[in-house]
Amino acid sequence: MQGEFHTARKDFYGIRAHFAGVIMSSAHETEESLRLNLDFSKLAQIAAAGEPVVPVAVQDFETHEVLLIAYVSREALALSLREKRAIFYSTSRREIWRKGETSGDVLELVEARVNCEQNSLLFLVKKAGKGSCHTKGPDGINRGSCYYRKINSTEVLDFVSSQE
In the chain, where are the structural domains located?
1-50, 52-164
Check: CB of residue 37 under 8 Å from CB of residue 22. Answer: yes
Average pLDDT of the chain, as a whole number: 83
Asked whether the predicted pLDDT for residue 5 surpasses 80, the reply is no
Q: What is the 3-state secondary structure (H, E, C) of 104-140?
A: CCCEEEEEEEECCCCCCEEEEEEECCCCCCCCECCCC
Is 85 or 156 the better-scoring residue by pLDDT? 85
Q: Output the CATH code of domain 52-164.
A: 3.10.20.810
Burial string for 6-17 (b: 16+ CB within 10 Å, else e) reads eebebeeebbeb
Residues 108-128 pLDDT 10s:
999 999 999 999 999 999 999
pTM score: 0.78
Say what the pLDDT of residue 12 is: 32
Asked whether the predicted pLDDT for residue 106 surpasses 60, the reply is yes
